[in-house]
Structure 1
Amino acid sequence: MAFSGMMAGMDEDARIARWTAGWPAVPGVLRGPGDDCALAAGPPRGCVAVLKTDSVLEGVHFTRRDPAAWVGRKALARAMSDFAATGARPVAVLAACLLPSGGKSGAYMDRAMAGMAAAARRWGIGLAGGETTRAPVLGLTASLYGWVERKTAVARSGARAGDVLCVTGQLGGSRAGHHLRFEPRLAEGQWLARGGWVRAMMDLSDGLGKDLPRLARASGLSFLIDPEKLPRRRGVDAVRAVNEGEDYELLFAVAPERIEALRRNWPFRTPWTDFGVLLPRRLKPETGGIPFRGYDHFA
């Protein structure tokens, strides 16, 4: 899909030319911005396509006080985090730009798109196309395309009672800057998936308090956690670690007999922590007295 839409101020075609400059050329994008539709290569033999959309909106995911380049990076990195949880390889992105009229919105979007392009160069992701439109608030949507080997793709479902609950990195305190500067655990997720180390996995965007029940529910299970084991940022208590959200870490379930082997073979500097276990569905969740709320966009 080509960039198209209606915008005031700077000529639309000139602005689109600015936003699409500096992106890497990747073999998976056969025809990119400038046509009605993009053409992308299909997945290699034995692989399936992976699709994901994520948005960042002013007043919800960022404010104008946040550096625009980091906001653009965040729009792409959020979708990358979901790819990590599937063990997938990203190839190309469609970027939709929502721009209010007046003020300094255009300059802010220029810097945001430059930040997204810089991140794409680092991660080897091409720009397939996108959309521009006038909107009440400033925002960016990144729709990511890629693939994963069918036999190694990981889902939220698939865990079994007795599996050990693990999480990468640290939790809580994201609004101090981590929500912009987080590193998608792409290599870690791909390694876990290819090696068959995990039975279920997802990324933590809405907080452990929202996302762990989702994983357990998808696998038809309940859960128990030890709040003392939760990896927390400095100054963050267990309640905040569970409920604040925007951690963008990997939550995964490992067969208990494989935990020690995972410790021995883990090849990354990123730490991971086991903090609980999955239980049969008939048992009530045990949270050690920590309220499980997480972040809900519609609450």
Structure 2
Amino acid sequence: MKSIDKTNIILTGATGFVGSYFKLKLDSPNLFSTSKSGGANVNPIDLTNKDDLVKFFEFSKPDILIHIAGNKDVGFCEKFPDEARKVNVTATKYLVDLCKKYKTKFVYLSTDYVFDGKRGNYKETDIPLPSSEYGKMKLESEEIISNSGIDHIIIRSGALYGLNGKFYQWAVNSLRDGIQIEAIVDSYFTPTLLDDLYDITLKLISNHFNGIIHIVGKNKVSRFQMISKIADSIRILDPKLKPITIAESGLFFMPDLSLCPDKLNKELNIFTHTLEEGLEYLASTSKN
């Protein structure tokens, strides 16, 4: 493969939390960024409009597609599955067809929601069994890509956190303002530092990896534990945290969506940061 700065890349979802970080870091004249709304150096492309996609691929002739865009609102997907499917599944079909035509490598950001969330520590070889509409859509897209015969990387991550992430910033602001936070104690996940996701994705592309991989942090935590660790990282000694259960919250959470990183660590010899390391990094970066 050509060096990354000489490779034609389409990046979808370039104005969101994850996509904007990828856009900033890739910073290449051969990067073609897209989002539905468009923006500075971002092409306004509706991924559900096949004609627009055909023209855009013809113009950009991508070597790599990094597909981050999608409707990630789990509640919306439950209430309006037909609407969410347009961008979460139908757009994937269009993109796969075009990647076949242009021999484009498809890098797809999937989710831990493809599993049922009952036992956790899921490996790439475990059979997915999503219990949410969002998870079902993401799994369907995974299968469309996997069965297409095109070169691909399917990345499953845990909850992503970073400086501009809604959850992280909300937790930091609430902790600093002394606001009481109700935090769930019986729902577990493996949070992923956004910087790790980007660095490892680029490494996998450079190493010509093909298949499914779990990119997650080293720690399985509850929401309560994560907010407690955020408090430690910003030196809040007595955070106002109220432990609650999933049942008490009345929200849609699963008992354990944690992913196993053994394939990444043991087979590929690639490692992520611990949660403590990631949070300390974010705390120090935000001061600069």
TM, length-normalised to structure 1: 0.25
Higher relative contact order (CA 8 A, sep 6+): 1
Larger Rg: 1
TM-score, normalised with respect to structure 2: 0.26
Higher strand content, 1 or 2: 1
